[in-house]
Chain A
Amino acid sequence: MPSSMPCSRGARCSAYEGPTPSTHQLLPHEPLMDDLYRDYILDHYKQPRNFGELEPHDLEALEHNPLCGDELGVHIRVKDDRIEDLRFHGHGCAISQASASIASEELKGMELAEVGRLGADWMIELLGIPVSATRRKCALLNLKVVRGAVTGDHAWPA
């Protein structure tokens, strides 16, 4: 008798010797094309651009995603009313980290007044993937923190 619990409904496990039903499993080596976790998203997640500390900096903010406890902060250096340079720091999921990384490249050189006008659509379009309602805050956390640092408005981007 194996120590594990025998299966009552099939599927592969050590106690089951019958055919493997295929009701709800992905085959382990099936090639995967994923709408959300595209190559460039995972690339930005694994090698985020403009991450770390920036000293000295003129503006900063730190925000949390209450859903998951993730945190994201930003340091911003300002020159001639533009973002001269910025760095994100913190931890989060692939969507939040990739969003920050991708946004950072666009935000460099942007006028502060324009940053204040950026809305959720800007970020979602920039990200280029279908973001579900539950992951929306993951994608928008970086914009929330940047807008907070620049304008003092800490509301979630609409």
Chain B
Amino acid sequence: MSTATHDTTHGHADDVAHGHDDHAHAHKPYGMMRWLGSTNHKDIGTMYLWFSFTMFMVGGVMAMLIRAELFQPGLQILTPEKFNSMTTYHGLIMVFGAIMPAFVGFANWLIPMQIGAPDMAFPRMNNLSFWLLPPAAALLIAAQFVPGGGAGVGWTMYAPLTTQAGPAMDLTIFAVHILGMSSIMGSINIITTILNMRAPGMGLMKMPLFCWTWLITAYLLVASMPVLAGAVTMTLTDRHFGTSFFNAAGGGDPVLYQHIFWFFGHPEVYIIAIPAFGVISQVIPAFSRKPLFGYASMVYATASIAILSFLVWGHHMYTTGMPVETQLYFMYATTVIAVPTGVKVFNWVATMWKGSLSFETPMLFALGFLFLFSLGGFTGLHSGNVPVDVQLQDTYYVVAHFHYVMVAGALFSAFAGIYFWLPKWTGRMYNETLGKWHFWLSLIFFNVAFFVQHFLGLAGMPRRVPDYALQFAEFNAISSIGAFGFGLSQLLFLYVVVKCITSGEKALDKQWEGADSLEWTHLPSPPPYHSFVTPPVLK
């Protein structure tokens, strides 16, 4: 049931065990068209990862500007409008341009190999899904340079503030639409691939958990991205076409925007977190030399989290004035999500328990994830409690919470995955000492930057402000130093990756003793340009 789309008139099927890419496929593309016209899941995965890293740097520069302004009280380098624009685009670029494409890059590279398929179900649509991203990114960057500068509305783009914003808002809305289309098409591809193209013997409950997490995430994307598109389209028509969806004077309600946005927004954070969980579920068993504890309950827990994620959006809106019964419902529903999430954390620890552990860089990042994502989960528990949230909502406590789960959580998981799979993708090993340096520097500077922000929020510092009262000065200075250090440490990561690709030592086919998915057991490092053209035989 090979659905490979490469030209089969050469008469060579790619042999799983040999992997002679240029020999088996004489017309392997080269030059610019190899990338622009690629229908190869490996090349497309590579492009997603490089795009994501570029956006990480762009969003990172914005973060450095934000923390530079906040280093001391007073306004030094940014006007308040520019500051608001930086916070807005830092958020949009990191969420939609960096972290989401990174995990799509992993999906593209790994899903076909892990299920024994030759490529994704729709390779041409795969190409379009990627190539929509650079224009969308260009729009977000261009928005900084139109009259009025970038829209200073927050990544959440609440109405009716967005009605007042300048032309940058329209560019941003357009970019969000394009990003959504890319994600939806990618999700259709992933679902179809996983449901239809698994090799014989690869039952759903046998495939690597990473594939399960992407299957579930893809459904979340398909269900939630159109809702975001609706919200920003209504914003567009309120701005230009005389509608009043979010304007009380015309019969509408500003809070309606928040309901629609967060109905997308809460599943969105799980769209980011669940693939991260998937990567961790591959890395920890490999370095524990022990199977993942409770595979089935991990699947059920992930599916529960995904379903529950649609039922809790109101916890982002506790102070908008909803009736007390609604607040109570959202509080109870939100605390329920803690149960399957806890189960997952316990399962990862139980995987390590009585294993035979080693601590190469991927495992270090996975442990960092486990520790710090859980911390972020705890502050989520505080924020989910309505009376307590009255004090925490819209403060730096929330900023700390989501940076713990998204940076120390999702980003560290992405780092773990990159160090884990670089040997497979490139056939070369990264420098283990430098990798460890990257880990320790990132871990320490991340905590210096963000742990103190919990205290800032508790002490009363609101978020999205370019300046602050004097009692917040010390912790802001500490946070800024941590942020600068964290940013610089990522340059070390770039060096490690480039050095690996260009001159790393040759990697083994099964580089990691405890790794057991198909890409490690059945494919060489690097794998052939087309792998599993005939499906592997699985017991």
A, B assembled together:
no
